[in-house]
Amino acid sequence: MPRRSGARSRAGTNDPAGAVIELRPGVPDLSSFPRTLWAAALRRALATAPNSALDYAEPAGLPVLREAVAGYLARTRGVRAEPEAVVITAGFTSGLSLLGRALHRRGARTIATENPGLVRHRDVLRAAELTVVPLAVGPSGAEPGDAVGQAALLTPAHQHPTGVVLAPRSRYRFIDWARRNNAYLVEDDYDGEFRYDQRPVGAMQALDPERIVYAGSTSKSLAPGVRLGWMIVPAPLRRDLAAEIFDAGAAVSVLDQLAMADLILRGDYDRHIRRMRLVYRRRRRQLASSIGVPLRGIAAGMHALLPLASATGEQRLIAEGRRRGLALTGLHGNGYWHEPEGQSAALILGYAAPPAHSWPAALSLLTQLVQQSAAELVQNRGPDGVTVGL
């Protein structure tokens, strides 16, 4: 989730004794960024690229990276894409904004987005002059019966923020809806690479590459500051999307593109992801066993949901967490719901964010906080020990 304030310490001081450990959802451990690998990739790119590579590049991205990404996604996510379908973006949000404009250019006026979902995504779609309508999210993911308009934005592999997977039946129903309505589905595969309990469910895009725009980002696999991602785009949308990138001057730095291609082609990107997957899997297990109350959502990604009984309880826990040195994020108070009234509350625990040296302290502070807050927790648990129904 984007950071809104730079505050990192209590009372706005730089006093390390007052430091706050952030459990920000959707953020990787920034201290694990592969600096050496990136520097080496950049050095190789600079040493080998001809001068002509430094010219204005194609808005859709450098052929070498588009080819590398097509191969990587086919191999790791089962995506069906020829290199011409790949569009390099400055991250998911930028790609979504430009895609929204391209869809509008082609006559779209309404897009459905998950409820709850990231408010930032609704904002950029509204800025693209699209009306945003809610898709309810249940235990099987977004509800296809709610789809209206000319597009729907989905997080099938790991719904953000509830952590459920979009059921196979729902995937087919969304595709059927898109085909019947000449609509597009946007698959935000924001942490598809990070599944811990089994092999990741493949990308939905493979079920219908003509109706699904697949979108990936390096914000979780490398770092959000890199601002690099990709979209796999059905042929009829490609020209309009490239035109939006060109008009916005939103093409990505060629040096970053060359370095990224190098990282993928040498296998270093896969190796880094595999390494981080082990780190986050271990953290998630430690979190689940340490706090002693069931978390919601599959074992995947960078966050888990701790359902709470009320929005006031959420505020109380966040305030108490801050007093103890933890920055926590609530489901109710952060714009995830299209309309928050009457909707449920939770803590969205971003366990990937703390650097390794802070993780033990984060875990222990969180465990104490949760164990001393029984009154705020949701009591109704499903038969498998997983809290059901948001």
Ligand X SMILES: Cc1ncc(COP(=O)(O)O)c(C=O)c1O
How many residues touch ligand X under the rule CB under 6 A: the total is 14
Stretch that binds ligand X, among 46-54, 91-99, 108-116, 324-332 (CB under 6 A): 91-99
Q: How far is the CB of 263 from ligand X (least distance, A)?
A: 17
**Where in 254-283 is the site for ligand X (CB under 6 A)?**
none
Q: Which helix (H) or strand (E) holds 363?
A: helix 359-371
Contact string 129-168 vs ligand X (x = CB under 6 A):
--------------------------x----x--------
Q: Which of 269, 267, 257 is nearest to 66 (CA)?
A: 257
On whether the CB atoms of residues 149 and 108 are closer than 8 A, the answer is yes
The stretch near ligand X (CB under 6 A) out of 46-54, 216-224, 253-261, 317-325 is 216-224
Is residue 118 within the footprint of ligand X (CB under 6 A)? yes
Shortest reach from residue 303's CB to ligand X, in Å? 9
Distance CA 8, CA 322 (A): 11
Q: What is the DSSP string of 14-32?
A: --GGGB-EE--TT---GGG
Q: 224 vs 354, which CB is nearer to ligand X? A: 224
Q: What angle do CA 307, 313, 314 make, to 5 degrees?
A: 60
Is 329 a binding residue for ligand X by CB under 6 A? The answer is no
Is 92 a binding residue for ligand X by CB under 6 A? The answer is: yes
* Cα–Cα distance for residue pair 294/291, rounded to 1 Å: 8
Residue 188 within binding range of ligand X, rule CB under 6 A? yes
By the rule CB under 6 A, 97 interacts with ligand X: no
CA distances from 89 to 26, 84, 200, 364, 365 (A): 19, 14, 24, 39, 38
What would the x/- binding string for ligand X be over residues 189 to 208, using CB under 6 A? -x------------------
Return the axis-axis angle of helices 268-291 and 359-371, rounded to nearest 10°: 30
Kindly state whether residue 221 participates in binding ligand X, applying the rule CB under 6 A.
no
Does residue 26 bind ligand X (CB under 6 A)? yes
- For the bound state, the minimum distance from the C-beta of residue 119 to ligand X, rounded and expressed in Å, comes to 11
Nearer to ligand X, 92 or 378 (CB): 92
Q: What is the DSSP letter of 51?
A: G
CB nearer ligand X, residue 60 or residue 223: 223
Local structure of residue 377 (DSSP, 8 states): B
Residue with Cβ nearer ligand X (160 or 283): 160
Min. distance of Cβ 26 from ligand X in angstroms? 3
Choose among 285, 314, 307, 300: nearest CA to 386. Answer: 307
Phi, psi for 305 (deg, rounded to 5): -100, 130
**Which residues, in sequence order, are CB contacts of 118 under 8 Å at separation 6+?**
1, 160, 161, 336
Could you say whether residue 93 binds ligand X (CB under 6 A)? yes
**Would you say 171 and 203 are in contact if contact means Cβ atoms under 8 Å apart?**
no
The end-to-end CA distance of the chain, in Å, is 20
Spatial distance between the Cα atoms of 187 and 101, rounded to a whole number of angstroms: 17
Name the residue nearer to ligand X (CB basis): 142 or 377: 142
Helix (H, G, I), strand (E, B) or coil at 9: strand
Block residue for tokens 């895609």: 99
Can you list the alpha helix ranges (DSSP code H) found in 212-357? 235-248, 254-265, 268-291, 311-324
- Of positions 91, 100, 301, 307, contacts ligand X by CB under 6 A: 91
- Binding flag, residue 301, ligand X (CB under 6 A): no
Least distance CB 289 / ligand X (angstroms): 26
Q: Considering the complex, state which of residue 91 and residue 297 has its C-beta at the smaller distance from ligand X.
A: 91
- Exactly one of 1, 125, 203, 251 binds ligand X (CB under 6 A); that residue is 1
Whole-number Å distance between alpha carbons of 203 and 81: 12
- In this chain, which stretch among 46-54, 89-97, 234-242, 262-270 interacts with ligand X, using CB under 6 A? 89-97
Q: Which stretch binds ligand X (CB under 6 A): 48-56, 87-95, 193-201, 243-251?
A: 87-95
Q: With CB under 6 A as the contact rule, which of the stretches 85-93, 144-152, 248-256, 345-353 interacts with ligand X?
A: 85-93
Binding residues for ligand X (CB under 6 A): 1, 26, 91-93, 118, 155, 160, 188, 190, 217, 219, 224, 229
